[in-house]
Structure 1
Amino acid sequence: MGRIAVLYSSVGTGHKTAALALSRWIQLESPQWEVQCLDVLSFGSPFVKAFIANSYLEMVKRAPRLWGYFYNAMDDPKARDGVLNSINELTARINLRRLIKRLRSFGPDVIVFTHFFGAGAVAEEFLGSVPVYYVNTDFLSHVFHRNPLFRGWFVASHEAVLQYREDGLTQRVYLTGIPVSPSFLQRIPADQARRSLGLQEDRTTVLVMSGGIGVGPLDDAVSALARRDRWQVLVVCGNNRKRQLEIQRRFADKSNVRVFGYVDPINSLYEACDAVVMKPGGLSSSEVLCLEKPMLIIDPIPGQEQRNSDYLLENGAAKAVFHVKATDHKVEEILEDPSKLRSMVEACRRLKRPYAGRDVARILTRGGN
Structure 2
Amino acid sequence: MRQEPQILILTADYGEGHHQVSKVLQQSLIRNGYSEVAVVDLFREAYPVLNKIIRFLYRQSSHAASLGIPYYGWIYHLTNRLPMKGKIAAWMNSLGGDRLKKIILQYQPEVIIYTFPFGSLPSSEALSAIRPRTAVVITDFDVHRRWLFAKPDHYFVPASDVKEAMVRQGVPESRITVTGIPVRESFYDAAMIGSSSVKEADEHVILLMANVCGTLQSLSRLIGKLLLLSGVRIQVICGRQKRWRRRLAESWVDDARVDIFGFTYQLHVLMSSACCVITKAGGVTLSEAIQAGVPIFILNPFLGQEKENALYLQRKGAAAVAFTIHDLVLQIRAMISSEPIKQSMMNGLLAARQKTSADHIVRHLFPEASPLRRGGI
TM-score by length of 1: 0.86
- Residues 153-205 of structure 1, C-alpha deviations (whole Å, 9 max, x = no match): 1111223223322321113111111111122232353498789xxxx786210
* Rounded Cα–Cα distance in structure 2 between residues aligned with 1:344 and 1:121: 39
Equivalent positions of 1:337-348 (< 5 A) are 337-348=338-349
Cα separation, partners in 2 of 1:106 and 1:214, compared to 1, 3 Å = farther
* Rounded Cα–Cα distance in structure 1 between residues aligned with 2:342 and 2:76: 33
SS in 2 for 1:189: helix
* Rounded Cα–Cα distance in structure 1 between residues aligned with 2:259 and 2:277: 14
Matched with 1:68 is 73
CA offset at residue 32 of structure 1? 3.9
CA offset at residue 100 of structure 1? 4.0
Matched with 1:208 is 208
Whether 2:8 is the aligned partner of 1:5: answer: yes
* Rounded Cα–Cα distance in structure 2 between residues aligned with 1:124 and 1:240: 42
Matched with 1:189 is 193
SS in 1 for 2:119: helix
CA offset at residue 363 of structure 1? 1.4
CA offset at residue 284 of structure 1? 0.7
In structure 2, stretches of 5+ residues that fail to align are 369-377
CA offset at residue 93 of structure 1? 2.7
TM-score by length of 2: 0.84
Cα separation, partners in 2 of 1:295 and 1:83, compared to 1, 3 Å = same
SS in 2 for 1:186: helix
* Rounded Cα–Cα distance in structure 2 between residues aligned with 1:184 and 1:90: 36
CA offset at residue 308 of structure 1? 0.4
Letter in structure 2 aligned against 1:59 = S
Matched with 1:291 is 292
Cα separation, partners in 2 of 1:87 and 1:260, compared to 1, 3 Å = farther
The answer on whether the counterparts of 1:297 and 1:318 sit within 8 Å (CA) in structure 2 is: yes
CA offset at residue 87 of structure 1? 4.1
Equivalent positions of 1:114-133 (< 5 A) are 114-116=115-117, 119-120=118-119, 122=121, 124=123, 129-133=131-135
The answer on whether the counterparts of 2:138 and 2:147 sit within 8 Å (CA) in structure 1 is: yes
Whether 2:96 is the aligned partner of 1:92: answer: yes
- 2:30 pairs, out of 15, 27, 30, with 27
Letter in structure 1 aligned against 2:208 = V
The answer on whether the counterparts of 2:136 and 2:154 sit within 8 Å (CA) in structure 1 is: yes
| Percent of residue pairs identical | 21
- Paired residues in the alignment total 356
- 1:178 pairs, out of 171, 176, 181, with 181
* Rounded Cα–Cα distance in structure 2 between residues aligned with 1:214 and 1:41: 28
The answer on whether the counterparts of 2:43 and 2:96 sit within 8 Å (CA) in structure 1 is: no
The answer on whether the counterparts of 2:238 and 2:261 sit within 8 Å (CA) in structure 1 is: yes
CA offset at residue 148 of structure 1? 5.1
Name the stretch that deviates more: 185-194 or 247-256. Answer: 185-194
The answer on whether the counterparts of 2:205 and 2:275 sit within 8 Å (CA) in structure 1 is: yes
CA offset at residue 340 of structure 1? 0.9
* Aligned Cα root-mean-square deviation (Å): 2.8
Cα separation, partners in 2 of 1:35 and 1:193, compared to 1, 3 Å = farther
SS in 2 for 1:297: strand
In structure 1, stretches of 5+ residues that fail to align are none
The answer on whether the counterparts of 1:8 and 1:15 sit within 8 Å (CA) in structure 2 is: yes
* Rounded Cα–Cα distance in structure 2 between residues aligned with 1:2 and 1:55: 37
